[in-house]
Chain A
């Protein structure tokens, strides 16, 4: 109560009778636990309740709501259902499934007076569902797949690189399964700049799906494995193609008490560094393109200028979408959304594609999952490193 921001509360209390004042103070100081669930939760109930009581001020920018069109998936709607699930006022499968209706894009956070990420709030709720064995079947299947093959998808390309080098290249599940060309081009570009990339002999998924779906203990096992693997590579820099891998290795592992003995960079950051050091020649790539900011890269990691610097250096005519940088819109593939709500994910992709195509027909991004989303719907979409490789070829 000494906080200046509550001066008005003190002022208000000075106008009321002593009994009211005493009651109000008691509630203000100690009333916070009144509506908490009886059992301890993994979810941050303070955040769940605050979000649930908000008038939904971020809803207009929620891509899942725009695509699914039901208020039950609006940010505050999900928090309200989460509160009922956590307090066991409600225990239906449909409510549990709705806790997975989020693409982790953090658009909500841009407008939240509390700076909440609904994805982060839901992570805890999902962990509680896991503890109660109430998670949806699709989550169990993903967990099993990761346990068996340590990758989200069947790999097409196995790591091909020395066990040690100037840096460790971490390609990620999406590249290894769906975009081996990104791994090849990354290697080509790095070598052209005189950098030898090492690769892990057995690269595991970064664990993002496990954390997102509420399998926190499994995620911690993965993070510990990665820390040992990075250490054994003896590299002091890790470069990831995928923003989500970067976010996990750089931010979420340390947040869960596991630090890597290396600096973690997204490939766009490393390429920008090479450009700055003039280790990559200027290019003259044809044609205009629109740059799509991946949500995790732009919002969670704050990386917005490096990919643009690289594209400019490659001579590309980069056009900006009206919804760019931290105001970007999700490609629909984030937060494991397609595992639970594939049609909603497709609709989000379609909406973003329409928006991007108003600016230019050719899309460049810096995330293999965004590339998959767009090319999966027939669009011309490239990863940043592919543009750099092409510029090198044409130089």
Chain B
């Protein structure tokens, strides 16, 4: 038995192209079949099912490991000349298929560009290459007395470049912001080979910040090679608090009021009844956990003020233990490993919505997921908050019906979530990005803005080499 590929394409790189490419990247090039299998994917959950069935999403023609921005440029220049697709690769932890090389070509693994270039203590900034692993960056900063404050669940297996390319958000985002809030400046190689860099200044009124087009571009406009990020002194103190409520509207209201008061706990998480049972073993309750950190005096004040509002909204104080439990288990990603081998299909889907329609959107999405035949688990929590609204993070799991493919089941649940979100005026992604699974929803999400994005794409990438098949607004598998 041999493996199959899901997205078939003919090789785009000729042997001559490969030879010329090899000369440009002393750090390495591979055409090994084993390595191409590994770089055929990211962490898109449906691809795990394919993999168990002996299928890989899509083989690249080769993988390269550049060590400098100039080498990245050389790769892109050559690929441009030969019209060969280029797909940037950070750590391969994306969950929507964004790094799957569906048209083949060259995967550019940025891992070797992982140096911390400089720490500016006075300006609280770090200059770092984009290929660095998240945990290795955070560990480096912690040892030097700082934190980035960007702690996604994928911290251990994701990269700075990946965070920027899909506009990631970390678990501590309510205080520290999302990755785009942390980026002060960036350097990138555009699809046409132009190298752009911006100044590490706090702000400038010099026209639109065009370099920011790269943030969230998912590798379709170029490759981000370096960035200057905001950092913070390692927090003096942490305070933990938790509350349970009878119904989901109560903690949502409590958190809305907390933010309205201009209080910003680092971690705020509200679990619906299903997830409160799953994560904390409490039935018929909704758990709210809060983690405040920073200056010792301010942390105490924040805890008291936030706690008062929670009690006012009907919360029952549950102490520090649930937060400690969350801290201890927040990186335990076990569900896919435990349930996929038994035939279940799992995924998580994040959306955002304004406060006015938050609760009804949550309900509509849960109902939408449940309406798909085969869905067993349909639950959600809220994990990122703003004075304006909230990000809901839904989980679904189930067994595909006997008739129809696993992908059809998977896509049906996704469609239900996307439709309910669009119907309620929400945004179809809060921080995982578009990738392959959300691409067909892009026109409904962006409306006429999609034409602007496509015009930018045509201007920067006239030969359509950068991560083709993504951010196109209509991709079908």
Assess the A58–B63 pair: CB atoms within 8 A.
no
B39 within 8 A of A: yes
Query: In chain B, residues 51-95, which have Cβ atoms closer than 8 Å to a Cβ of chain A?
Result: 51-54, 63, 65, 91-93
Q: Are A60 and B37 in contact (CB under 8 A)?
A: no
Tell whether A87 is near chain B: CB-to-CB under 8 Å. yes
One of A69-77, A118-126, A156-164 contacting the partner: A69-77
Stretch at the interface among A23-31, A249-257, A377-385: A23-31
Does A130 sit within 8 A of B, measured CB to CB? no
Residue in B34, B333, B336, B340 whose CB lies within 8 Å of A81: B34
CA distance A61 to B134 in the complex (A): 11
Q: Chain B nearest CB: distance from A286 CB in Å? A: 29
CA distance A51 to B334 in the complex (A): 10
Asked if A55 and B135 make an inter-chain contact with CB atoms under 8 angstroms apart, the answer reads no
If the complex has contacts A12-B377, A15-B370, A70-B109, are A80 and B33 also in contact, measured as CB distance less than 8 A?
no
B370 touching A90, Cβ below 8 Å: no
Residue of A whose beta carbon sits closest to that of B335 = A53
Interface string of B17-50 (1 = CB under 8 A from A): 0000000000110101111011100010000100
B51 touches A7 (CB 8 A): no
Q: Evaluate contact between B277 and A80: CB separation under 8 angstroms.
A: no
In the complex, which residues 302-339 of chain B have their Cβ closer than 8 Å to any Cβ of chain A?
A: 331-334, 336-338
Interface pair B156/A72, CB less than 8 Å apart: no
Rounded to whole Å, the gap between the CB of A61 and the closest CB of chain B is 8
Give the complex CA separation of A23 and B344 in angstroms. Answer: 10
Q: A74: which B residues are within 8 A, CB to CB?
A: 38
- B376 near A16: Cβ-Cβ < 8 Å: yes
- How many A residues have CB within 8 A of the partner chain? 55
Provide the residues of chain B in CB contact with A90, threshold 8 Å.
2-3, 33-34, 37
Interface class of chain B by DSSP: mixed
**Contact in complex: A59, B157 (CB < 8 Å):** yes
A89 within 8 A of B: yes
Question: Which of A51, A72, A113 makes the CB contact (< 8 A) with B35?
Answer: A72
The answer to whether A13 and B376 have CB atoms under 8 Å apart is yes
Residues of chain A contacted by B340 (CB below 8 angstroms): 53
Task: Flag if A71 contacts B1 (CB, 8 Å).
Answer: no
Q: Is the CB of A71 within 8 A of B39?
A: yes
Q: Is B398 an interface residue (CB 8 A)?
A: yes
State whether B373 touches A20 (Cβ < 8 A): yes
B336 contacts A53, CB within 8 Å?
Answer: yes
Contacts of B134 in A (CB 8 A): 60
Pick the interface stretch among A92-100, A143-151, A276-284. A92-100
Contact yes or no, A54 B337, CB < 8 A: yes
A residues contacting B by CB (< 8 A) are 4, 7-9, 11-13, 15-16, 20-21, 23-24, 27-28, 31-32, 34-35, 46, 49-61, 69-72, 74, 77, 80-81, 83-84, 87-90, 92, 94-95, 98, 111, 113-114, 322
9 contacts between A and B (CB under 8 A): A15-B378, A20-B375, A27-B342, A28-B344, A54-B336, A60-B135, A72-B35, A95-B33, A113-B334
